[in-house]
């Protein structure tokens, strides 16, 4: 293994995964690493060893680590108290320094954001939002971050004005993998785009019918030969359409940018296009790295 | 153990549980037994031994067994093909005789019902419906059977005219036990009736907002001190209210009878009372037994 001597280290530490990037002074990624040591399976004492296991080889020259995500939650490594919106997505003054045992480690964690009313919180997405604003200076409009817990975010004058969270991704996972609907979706190959489109439109025009639509996926599989691919695409369309119905004030007549994984963002972009909204798309990883870079001490000294 | 010599044996065999009753010729319950040998954990070969393990002691005089529920599904012991609505809830002619190895066993299974459009199915509830109609001869109106998969059923002239299934119970279980919301509901003691009522009203007036309301349960727990009891009652109210919104044509201005477990039926009755509907309540077990009795050969000969 070649020696890696990064200027700083970027860490995205969520509930399920730990991802790290060795960053050069010029902003290039020198190396990357990932493990499934997510917050969800670690005790407080487990975080430092998990990080050293993953990036110990990068710590020779004492590069600082900047982390975001659930690692900063109350159940995480070290709590980074939420900042209240309206505010900039990240702020170096809000970084929390983590006490460590390994003398090579210098770790800071970015805090999440909270909104008093309606009550809402985010952790990790604020860093992606900061990265997106680095890439689109002066952006005014709406960001949508689809995922386990999708976020819709109003941006104005460089600040997060308001946001709203939908459990769409988690609902899809639970319903498709743990509910009675899984029987009709197992072994789905391919993606039925027509079924997705029809479900999005159906849910947008009658969002109150979601509860009634779900079991029909099972019933049509049993008595009308609905395919696994169509059932899965229709479930996705129903849930995303229901989200769009409730999030309408966020996208109707607005400039919208999607930040997310390739495939999921494509589904949201398609659903929005059906409503006449052409959304720009940014990679979640690129935004995370740009957001963490804006917080790294290295960036501070070279500015 | 005293010897039990039933006239016939009633069996309710669902996905998770197997329940059996030794019935006297006079309709009294002589003994009852239950196990967790539900359909979900049995292979086709496992059904007969599971039944004999539970009720072997009742088979001395060759009493016939009448069963309902998922035991008659394609993945069950012996498929009892769905009957199509509109039709009577049960029909002795539709009973399927199960081939058995134990010569003492004579088992018949009641088929479920299917509806072509909108596609829907039920298994087990048809027997409860038959029992309810035994208890309320000439009933014209709506039956609501809350549960894992709640059913709303239009009854007219002794027939099931149409029905609709909602995954409300399964959604509550998944969200309260397997989603991020579980963190704010663990160890809930008591029940916050005011939170339930407010959530029912909120969901009924804005059912399209369900997706947005769910995550707020987590956020309010984190930043506004929402109690576990209030969060749990509000989740229940949101889901039941959303079901009532979609099922409105079934209950608005209708005569409604609830068939279900005590506590769950009470929650539905309360939610309906908030809408000005005074629903009658019947015990699910009583209805199951009355429905199975109407199908037993014993009943036939004594009529």
In a domain, B290, yes or no: no
For residue A237, what are its two tokens? 């369309």
pLDDT tens, position by position, B102-121 = 999 999 999 999 999 999 99
Q: In whole angstroms, what is the distance from residue B171 CA to residue B167 CA?
A: 6
Question: pTM value?
Answer: 0.93
Test B212 with A247 for CB contact under 8 angstroms.
yes
> Partners of A63 in the beta sheet?
none
Residue at token pair 């947008």:
A204
Residue B171: CB atoms within 10 Å: 25
- B69 burial via Cβ count (<10 Å: 0-12, 13-18, 19+): buried
Q: In this structure, are strands A83-84 and A65-68 parallel, antiparallel, or unpaired?
A: unpaired
Q: Are residues A277 and A173 in the same domain?
A: yes
What's the complex ipTM? 0.91
Contact B294, B303 (CB under 8 A): no
Residues 6+ apart with CB under 8 A from B282: B132, B135, B257, B258, B259
Q: Are residues A193 and A249 in the same domain?
A: yes
Structural domain for A243, as ranges: 166-284
- Average pLDDT in the B75-91 region? 97
Task: Please indicate, yes or no, whether residues A112 and A26 belong to a single structural domain of this protein.
Answer: yes
Do B184 and B98 lie in one domain? The reply is no
Is residue B67 located within the same domain as residue B174?
A: no
Domain check: are B171 and B275 in the same one? yes
Mean pLDDT score, B205-220 = 93
Q: Do B208 and B104 share a structural domain?
A: no
Residues 6+ apart with CB under 8 A from A169: A146, A147, A148, A149, A150, A264
Asked if the structure places residue B49 within a domain, the reply is yes
Asked if B117 and B181 sit in the same domain, the reply is no
pLDDT at B300: 56
B185 and B118 inside one domain: no
Task: Kindly list the residues from chain B whose CB atom is less than 8 angstroms away from the CB atom of residue A170.
Answer: 179-180
- The answer to whether the CB atoms of A179 and B174 lie below 8 A apart is yes
Average pLDDT over residues B79-107: 97
B119 and B174 in a single domain? The answer is: no
**What's residue A208's pLDDT?**
87
From the list A118, A178, A180, the residue facing B216 with the nearest CB is A118
Domain-located, residue A293: no
Residue B19 confidence class, pLDDT cut points 50, 70, 90: very high
> A140 in a domain, yes or no?
no
Q: Is residue A243 part of a domain?
A: yes
Which pLDDT does position A301 carry in this prediction?
47
Last residue of some domain: A123, A150, A176?
A123
CATH number at residue A231: 3.30.420.310
Bridge partner list, B59: none
Extract the residue ranges of chain A whose pLDDT is less than 50. Answer: 301-303
* Residues in chain B within 8 Å Cβ distance of A210: 210, 242, 246
Give domain status of residue A152, yes or no.
no
Q: Give residue-wise pLDDT tens across range A3-55.
A: 789 999 999 999 999 999 999 999 999 999 999 999 999 999 999 999 999 99
Structural domains in chain B (count): 2
Question: Distance between terminal CA atoms of chain B?
Answer: 32
Strand, coil or helix: A129: helix
Q: Which CATH number does the domain housing residue A119 bear?
A: 3.30.420.300
Residue with tokens 């769009």: A244
Interfacial residues of A (vs B; Cβ cutoff 8 Å)? 74, 82, 114-116, 118-121, 149, 164-168, 170-171, 174-175, 178-181, 207-212, 214-216, 218-220, 222-224, 239, 242-243, 245-247
The domain boundary, picked from B59, B93, B123, lies at: B123
- Could B165 and A219 be called an inter-chain contact, meaning their C-beta atoms sit closer than 8 Å? yes
pLDDT for residue B165 is more than 90: yes
pLDDT (0 to 100) of residue A2: 60
- Asked whether residue B78 is assigned to any structural domain, the reply reads yes
Cα separation of A19 and A10, whole Å? 8
Residue A146 in domain: no
Q: Are residues B119 and B187 in the same domain?
A: no
Domain end, chosen from B123, B157, B175, is at B123
Residues of chain A contacting B144 with CB distance shorter than 8 Å: none
Model confidence at B302, pLDDT cuts 50, 70, 90, reads very low
Q: Is the CB of A165 less than 8 angstroms away from the CB of B207?
A: no
Residues B88, B14: one domain? yes
Kindly state the average pLDDT of the residues B282-295. 97
Residue B301's pLDDT is: 47
């Amino acid at each position: 293994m070649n020696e890696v001597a990064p200027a700083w280290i970027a860490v995205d530490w969520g509930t399920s995964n730990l991802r790290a990037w060795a960053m050069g002074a010029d902003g290039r990624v020198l190396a990357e690493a990932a493990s499934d040591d997510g917050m969800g399976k670690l005790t407080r004492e487990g975080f430092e060893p998990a990080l050293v296991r993953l990036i110990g080889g990068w710590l020779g020259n004492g590069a600082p680590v900047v982390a975001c995500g659930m690692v900063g939650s109350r159940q995480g490594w070290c709590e980074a108290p939420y900042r209240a919106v309206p505010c900039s997505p990240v702020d170096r003054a809000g970084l929390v320094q983590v006490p460590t045992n390994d003398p090579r480690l210098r770790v800071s964690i970015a805090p999440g954001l909270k909104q008093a009313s309606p009550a809402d919180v985010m952790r990790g997405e604020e860093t992606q939002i900061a990265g997106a604003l680095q890439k689109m200076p002066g952006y005014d409009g709406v960001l949508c971050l689809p995922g386990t817990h999708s976020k819709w975010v109003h941006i104005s004058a460089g600040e997060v004005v308001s946001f709203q969270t939908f459990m769409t991704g988690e609902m899809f996972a639970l319903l498709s993998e743990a509910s009675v609907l899984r029987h009709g979706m197992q072994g789905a190959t391919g993606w039925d785009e027509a079924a997705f489109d029809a479900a999005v439109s159906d849910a947008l025009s009658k969002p109150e019918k979601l509860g009634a639509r779900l079991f029909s996926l099972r019933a049509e599989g049993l008595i009308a030969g609905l395919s696994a691919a169509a059932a899965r695409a229709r479930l996705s369309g129903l849930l995303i359409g229901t989200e769009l119905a409730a999030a309408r004030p966020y996208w109707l007549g607005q400039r919208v940018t999607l930040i997310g994984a390739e495939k999921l963002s494509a589904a949201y972009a398609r659903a929005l296009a059906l409503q006449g909204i052409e959304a720009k798309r940014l990679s979640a990883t690129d935004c995370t790295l740009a957001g963490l870079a804006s917080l790294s001490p290295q960036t501070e000294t070279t500015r």
